[in-house]
Structure 1
Amino acid sequence: MPLVSTNAEPVAAPTVLATQHGSVRPLAAEDLERVAALFLTKFRRRRRLLDRAIAETAEYMRKIYLDPAGPSGANNALVQINPQGDLGGFLGVLKARYELNGAVLDAAIIGPLMADPGTDHGSAGPQLLRALHQGEFDLYLTDSANRVSLAFARPMKYQLLPAHCLGWTRIFRPAAVASAVVRGKWPSLSRFALDPCAKAFDAFTKKRFEPSVQHSSSHRVHRESMDAAQFAERLPTLVSDYSLRPRWQDGELPRLLALASEKRADGPLHFGGTYDEAGKMLGCYAFYGQAGGMANLLQIQATGSHWGATLDGLIADAWTMGCAGIIGQTQSRFMPQLFSYKNVFFRYAGGTMVRSRIHEVTQAVRSGDIFIGGLMGDRWTRLSSDDFGR
């Protein structure tokens, strides 16, 4: 059955959408410093805004939202201007493409949604989302909505994907994790005072927390490292069993991975894959990590019944690297494998939601037949984690 949209003639996004509460228009270069300052105040809790932090944040926003060669290829981000002419709010939007039953769909990946509490009266967030919904997109998605954004979006008929809203943590070296948390809260504390004690404790508890192979036999399945180009070449094949899946154009996925590699908070970006004895790829993964820190999963994908073996490979790589543990976003397809690991903890990590006027899209989302999160989200951006200006 061919894909049929309920909105055969999408309405182009208005240049300016005005109401009694203010107006919404596309992000402009002259807005960047004000948006960057608001971002640092809301999401980095900066009471004292340094010029270098604002400048670095603004330049990064220029790259991902306004650069024609960036991930969107066009400016889709929005700002709300209140009746007094001040910045009231901002909505970061990245454009992507999906496909479903052979039809190509334009998708809006929603990133930071923020309002200035000094000028907003609770209207900026809903106004920005309503303006976005009047655009030409076939589906709207986010994988990082906080609880405030959830409250705005649910009445607007967003479908929540509960299994994707959780984060998971596998601890390898508990004292190293505690040491990193303490240094994060009190940066003035010397790591030379904390690390020796942490290493001694972790050596004592090594047998309890050391990961073991759960789902594969070492003589049948092995893991290998790969580079970004190899990962970009193989990932599209592994996602082909989703009905609603990304449609990356030539060169688009390598450019996206190059931008993702600019994140600094959790160490360099590493790639790996799992293979059977004949050399056939069973799955692949990408994660940020460095010795002594928490590894952070960007993407994992496997075919058929090979999620467990791929998860084994990911965890083994992070352990061998000397990471204190690993964190990642859950997916319904490998939740059963996660449940089989000891020392794995789950928490709410951010709302994953999808909205579409197309019936076939909502059906695919309802059945969980959608590839979402990771590179089809906004957690790969520096805005998700990096501390700008330091």
Structure 2
Amino acid sequence: MGQSSDRAGKRAGVRDLEREDLPSVGGLFQRTFRKGGEPPASLIDYLREVFFEHPWQDDELRSKVFVGENGDVQGFVGVFPSRLELDGRPLRAAFAGSMMVEHPDRNPLAGARLLRAFLAGPQDISLTETANAVALGMWQKLALPLDTAYSLNWLRVFRPTAAAVGVVERKFPTARILRPVAAAADALGERAGFSSLRMPAAVAGRRTAFRDATQAEFAEALLSLKDSFTLRPMWDRTALDWFTQHARQKRATGKPFWRLALSPKGEVVGCYVYFASRGGIGWLLQALCTPAIAGDLVDDLFAHADGQGCAGLRGGGHPWLTPELISRKAIFYGRAFLVAHSKDASLLQPIRSGTALISGLAGENWTRLIGDSFD
């Protein structure tokens, strides 16, 4: 009798994720972020891969579940271990993502308990780059504010009517049937002489050359360019390939386009990858460059996406690109927020100054759990 009570007591509250929890977490994910129903086997397999076969797997940085008195999973926060370095000093980091609670009205403290359990871990720095308004409120109640520079989501419109349809599609996928009507309306507007938001294919006076790249060439460029950031991931080729391959599998975002920027001497001075489908709104996952060519990179990015027939292009916070985005008619808005916490305030200074590489492939946006579907 006493042993049974002990087991029940250990199971109640917040504990580390176990492999046998994955079907329950998958079901919770389906009910919270999708349309419900039984979780597909592909989702369960994916949860196993990202939370138990991560290249930087750390048994002390485990995802957390909130369980009821009967041991049933009622809440979850995914924890993605990360390895960062600050001026050569290795750091243990962790990203929190995919926070969800079953019946939050019945479990009003479950989310806060999951977040506190995450923050109590052994990591040097705790982050999230995908906090929604609800999750942000939990961080703020702990006196942990968002970082504005990395939370500036943006949208650049090329075809206004099609872009409006694309925004509606995110909520109602059946709105896709309106794409041909939207394309016709945008073409009519351009012929009528309305102010165009389209981008020129070439910009006069630009010395930087751009070309398409393979995924492997893009990875090599990232490994070189990341060293210009004060706080950066400790990628090696094996880990980086794992992240990029997961990002490439995000079918809902469209086809990936890998691009390199070259100096007049042929040196790689920038790179970016974005995803796009004709008539839809493309998505920038990652862009790195030397400061001198930031404007050239944004010009090429917009022109390339426009040339692929995108209605628009969106992305998360890239502080090193923000001035160029502002001057090129990008719209800024709040959607996913970045929050960082550390007991050592010096570790947060690069984030405050915008010299940290902690988002996109360096963060958690590579995962299919954000914005993709499972069969």
When normalised by structure 1's length, the TM-score is: 0.85
Question: Which whole-Å CA distance do the structure 2 matches of 1:180 and 1:363 have between them?
Answer: 37
The answer as to 2:199 corresponding to 1:211 is yes
1:298-325 CA-partner distances (Å, limit 9, x unpaired)? 0011112211111111111111111111
Structure 1 stretch 201-210 or stretch 179-188: which is displaced more? 179-188
Say whether the 8 Å CA contact 1:262–1:382 is kept in structure 2: yes
CA distance 1:203–1:248, change in 2 (3 Å): same
Counting helix residues as a fraction of each chain, which structure ranks higher?
Answer: 2
The answer as to 2:278 corresponding to 1:297 is no
3-state SS of the aligned residue for 2:369? helix
Alignment root-mean-square deviation, CA = 2.6
CA distance 1:119–1:172, change in 2 (3 Å): closer
Matching residue within 146, 149, 168 for 2:154? 168
Say whether the 8 Å CA contact 2:124–2:342 is kept in structure 1: yes
Question: Which whole-Å CA distance do the structure 1 matches of 2:25 and 2:10 have between them?
Answer: 22
Question: Which whole-Å CA distance do the structure 2 matches of 1:129 and 1:306 have between them?
Answer: 39
Structure 1 stretch 306-315 or stretch 54-63: which is displaced more? 54-63
The answer as to 2:181 corresponding to 1:197 is yes
2:48 match: 62
- How many residues in Structure 1 have an aligned counterpart in Structure 2? 363
Tell me which amino acid in the other structure corresponds to 1:73.
Q
The answer as to 2:135 corresponding to 1:149 is yes
Say whether the 8 Å CA contact 2:97–2:364 is kept in structure 1: yes
3-state SS of the aligned residue for 1:336? helix
Question: Which whole-Å CA distance do the structure 1 matches of 2:249 and 2:339 have between them?
Answer: 26
3-state SS of the aligned residue for 2:331? strand
The answer as to 2:24 corresponding to 1:37 is no
Tell me which amino acid in the other structure corresponds to 2:335.
A
TM-superposed deviation, 1:269: 1.6
TM-superposed deviation, 1:218: 5.2
Structure 1 stretch 204-213 or stretch 145-154: which is displaced more? 204-213
TM-superposed deviation, 1:345: 1.5
- Equivalences for residues 1-390 of structure 1 within 5 A: 22-44=12-34, 46=35, 48-49=36-37, 51=38, 53-67=39-53, 70-74=54-58, 76-117=62-103, 120-181=106-167, 191=177, 194-206=178-190, 208-212=196-200, 217=204, 220-342=207-329, 344-389=330-375
CA distance 1:119–1:59, change in 2 (3 Å): farther
Question: Which whole-Å CA distance do the structure 1 matches of 2:297 and 2:342 have between them?
Answer: 32
CA distance 1:368–1:189, change in 2 (3 Å): closer
Moved over 6 A (4+): 18-21
TM-superposed deviation, 1:20: 10
2:3 match: none
1:316-362 CA-partner distances (Å, limit 9, x unpaired)? 111111111111112222211111113x2221021101111123203
CA distance 1:231–1:264, change in 2 (3 Å): same
Structure 1 stretch 355-364 or stretch 112-121: which is displaced more? 112-121
TM-superposed deviation, 1:195: 4.0
Say whether the 8 Å CA contact 2:77–2:100 is kept in structure 1: yes
Unaligned runs of 5+ in 1: 1-15
Unaligned runs of 5+ in 2: 1-5
Q: How much identity, in percent, do the aligned residues show?
A: 34
TM-superposed deviation, 1:208: 0.6
Question: Which whole-Å CA distance do the structure 2 matches of 1:140 and 1:262 have between them?
Answer: 26
